[in-house]
C-alpha cells in the first residue's frame, strides 16, 4: 500500500475515534503532517483489525510494531487474537464484545505477547468501532501505551 493510501487509512481510523470520543487521536499541535506523525512518531500504539470472523490486523503504527516485534508485512497477515496469549484471549474477546455493544471502551490494561511469545503490559487502552459514513462496521481499532500515563 502506498503512503497516500496508508495515511488515508489512518485518517479514517482517526475520524472514527473522533466520532466516538469527541477528540482526535493524541498528537502535538505543532506537527505539520498529523498522519505521518501518528504512523511513525507516536509514543503509543495504534492498531486496527478488519471485520472478518477471525479478524486480521489491517493497520499497525511503528510503535505497535516495536511492541509486538513483527514487521509490517507479518503484522498485516496476523489474526488479531494472536496479540494476546491463549490464557488472555477470553478476556480480550469480552472486551471486543463490549466495544461492539458500546462503540468505545476506555482504560483497558492487560498483558499482550510479542512475536517470540514474550509478555508485555499495555496501559490506558482505548478500543473503538470502525464504521463508514453509512454506519457499516469495517473493523475495530485500539490505542495503548506501554507505560502508565
pLDDT tens for the chain, 149 residues: list them: 678 899 999 999 999 999 999 999 999 999 999 999 999 999 999 999 999 999 999 999 999 999 999 999 999 999 999 998 777 777 877 887 888 899 999 999 889 999 999 999 999 999 999 999 999 999 999 999 999 88
**How confident is the model at residue 148, as a pLDDT?**
84
Burial of 98: CB neighbours in 10 Å, binned 0-12, 13-18, 19+: middle
**How confident is the model at residue 1, as a pLDDT?**
66
Q: Return the domain boundaries, the chain.
A: 3-145
**How confident is the model at residue 87, as a pLDDT?**
74
pTM: 0.93
Pick the CATH number of 3-145 from 3.10.20.70, 3.90.1300.10, 3.30.450.90, 3.30.450.20: 3.30.450.20
Sole residue written with cell 508485555: 120
Q: Are strands 119-131 and 104-113 parallel, antiparallel or unpaired?
A: antiparallel
Sole residue written with cell 500504539: 45
| Cβ proximity of 24 and 17 under 8 Å | yes
91: Cα separation from own chain's centroid: 17
Amino acid at each position: 500500500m502506498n503512503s497516500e493510501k496508508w495515511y488515508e487509512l489512518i485518517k479514517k481510523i482517526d475520524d472514527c475515534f473522533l466520532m466516538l470520543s469527541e477528540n482526535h487521536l493524541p498528537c502535538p499541535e505543532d506537527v505539520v503532517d498529523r498522519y505521518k506523525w501518528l504512523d511513525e512518531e507516536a509514543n503509543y500504539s495504534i492498531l486496527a483489525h478488519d471485520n472478518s470472523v477471525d479478524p486480521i490486523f489491517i493497520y499497525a503504527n511503528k510503535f505497535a510494531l516495536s511492541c509486538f516485534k513483527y514487521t509490517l508485512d507479518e503484522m498485516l497477515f496476523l489474526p488479531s487474537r494472536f496479540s494476546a496469549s491463549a490464557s488472555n484471549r477470553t478476556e480480550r474477546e469480552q472486551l471486543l464484545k463490549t466495544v461492539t455493544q458500546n462503540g468505545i471502551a476506555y482504560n483497558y490494561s492487560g498483558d499482550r505477547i510479542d512475536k517470540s511469545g514474550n509478555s508485555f503490559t499495555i496501559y490506558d487502552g482505548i478500543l473503538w468501532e470502525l464504521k463508514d459514513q453509512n454506519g457499516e462496521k469495517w473493523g475495530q481499532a485500539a490505542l495503548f501505551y506501554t507505560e502508565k500515563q
